[in-house]
Amino acid sequence: MTATNGDPHGSSYGALTADDVARIRMDFPVLDQLINGKPLVYLDNAATTQKPRPVIDAISNYYLHNNANVHRGVHTLSQRATDDYEVGREAIRRFINAPDSSEIIYVRGTTEGLNLVASSYGRKFFKAGDEVIITGMEHHSNIVPWQILGKEIGIRLRVIPFTDQGELLMDEYESMLNERTRLVSVVHQSNALGTINPVSSIVEMAHARGIPVMIDAAQSIPHMPVDVQAMGADFLTFSGHKMYGPTGIGVLWGRADLLNEMPPYQSGGEMIRSVTYEETIYNVIPHKFEAGTPDIAGAIGLGAAVEYLEAIGMDRIAAYEQALMRYGAERLAEIEGVRLIGTAENRGGVLSFYMESAHAHDIGTILDAEGIAVRTGHHCAQPVMARYEIPATVRASLSFYNTTEEIDALIKGIDRVIEVFG
């Protein structure tokens, strides 16, 4: 398996320096291009991140030299493919400090991780009248699976409200926990607001009542150290493409004792130990939840992405992105007519804003003409927009390859919006 390019990107202490970031940017070929005649400023990292060369190389290497199905062949290519696929799993285990690599289940992404738990765990352990608690700032993928289950078996969804700044009302959360609560499923970092939720406290309060907790780490895992044991979580899920890996691959981590109790989510090849017409015996975890030929290249690419992030250091990434976000928030606050949506004290690199004078899509179009890629819309979090009584925001979301110069370009782009729309 291709590891990182061996360059630890400068000193290993403190936030990344401008030189470190300049070196890092060279690992991302896509960043070096003009869009509408202007240098690309890629600020849509919460939607998906760009891919560094080691990830692209790991995927190409698999297809160029090792392509074969996994876990099935005795021939050399199949052995190599299986080894690299499993090396990826072990890299992910280490990255999130999971106790055992059998608890790392490859899925398509966060959406599938949440659906797997709702479908398998929910159908087995929930009954009519039971309650699942989520926050008011969930992505639709942590709302709709529970709603579908609600229609099917009659569970009730409880929603923790949040302040205008975007901070959860923890007293309200505590008062919702009761003998009917079967699961708490919360987002670690909100994609729409940037809020980093106090997941350890959320877990502690749930566990005090024997209630398991699922964490949607789609937006936190690319930006900060995530340690499932320190957090105390029971399930955690994330997407490869938001953490510099490929699309179509992600991870569900779950405590082995819970996963062992859960029925398969999909069925077919790989997830079985033996099949007769009378009876099928399921395979052990993680294979029980990995029916069919998986995204082998994706898993290998994700392993390479994890190694790339480890080489830079998640603490340094977090420190750099915090400074960049604070700089951006200050610059945006100086512009009259721009309202920052999501100002929690503890938040990540998301600058979500609203302008009365122009629709978010028009702002996005003007920024694109300046070479600036941002996301506009409801960000798959319509209840968050409803909470602020706005239809949409413009969201600039940051990565460690972004720079203060790029924030300045964004500010200049907004000046252009004001010239056009007032």
Does 406 contact ligand PLP by CB under 6 A? no
Could you say whether residue 139 binds ligand PLP (CB under 6 A)? yes
Secondary element (H or E) of residue 339: strand 338-340
Catalytic one of 47, 380, 411, 418: 380
Distance CA(51)–CA(142), nearest Å, equals 26
Among 2, 82, 111, 185, binds ligand PLP (CB under 6 A): 111
Is residue 197 involved in binding ligand PLP (CB under 6 A)? no
Binding-site size, ligand PLP (CB under 6 A): 12
Check residue 66 for interaction with ligand PLP (CB under 6 A): no
Q: Alpha-carbon distance 416 to 421, whole Å?
A: 9
Residue type, 87: V
Q: Using an 8 Å Cβ cutoff, are 251 and 233 in contact? A: no
| Bridge partner residues of 355 (DSSP) | 338
Under rule CB under 6 A, residue 218 binds ligand PLP: yes
- The torsion defined by the Cα of 398, 402, 408 and 414, in degrees rounded to 10, comes to -40
191 binds ligand PLP (CB under 6 A): yes
Q: Which of 61, 82, 120, 219 binds ligand PLP (CB under 6 A)?
A: 219
Task: Select the residue interacting with ligand PLP from 27, 84, 131, 216 (CB under 6 A).
Answer: 216
The DSSP bridge partners found for residue 193 are none
Of 212-220, 297-305, 312-320, 387-395, the window that binds ligand PLP (rule: CB under 6 A) is 212-220
At 122, is the secondary structure helix, strand, or coil? helix
Which tokens belong to 202? 């959320």
Q: Work out whether 187 is an interface residue with ligand PLP (CB under 6 A).
A: yes
Helix (H, G, I), strand (E, B) or coil at 104: strand
Binding mask 237-266 for ligand PLP (x = CB under 6 A): --x---------------------------
Query: Which residues in 371-400 contact ligand PLP (CB under 6 A)?
Result: 380
45 near ligand PLP (CB under 6 A): no
Q: Please pick, from the candidates 109, 264, 313, 342, the single residue that binds ligand PLP as defined by CB under 6 A.
A: 109
Give the whole-angstrom CA distance, residue 253 versus residue 283: 17
Which of 127, 227, 106 lies closest to 183, judged by CA?
127
CB nearer to ligand PLP: pick between 9 and 347:
347
Helix axes of 296-312 and 76-96: crossing angle, nearest 10 degrees: 40
- Separation between Cα atoms, residue 343 and residue 377, nearest integer Å: 19
Which window, 96-104, 108-116, 197-205, 336-344, contacts ligand PLP (CB under 6 A)? Answer: 108-116
Pairwise CA distance, residues 135 & 120, whole Å: 22
- Interface with ligand PLP, residue 141, by CB under 6 A: yes
380 is catalytic: yes
Stretch that binds ligand PLP, among 67-75, 107-115, 314-322, 388-396 (CB under 6 A): 107-115
Q: Is 82 in the site for ligand PLP (CB under 6 A)?
A: no
Omega cis (within 30) before 8: no
Q: Is the peptide bond before 99 cis (omega within 30 degrees of 0)?
A: no
Residues with catalytic annotation?
380
For binding to ligand PLP (CB under 6 A), which residues are involved? 109-111, 139, 141, 187, 191, 216, 218-219, 239, 380
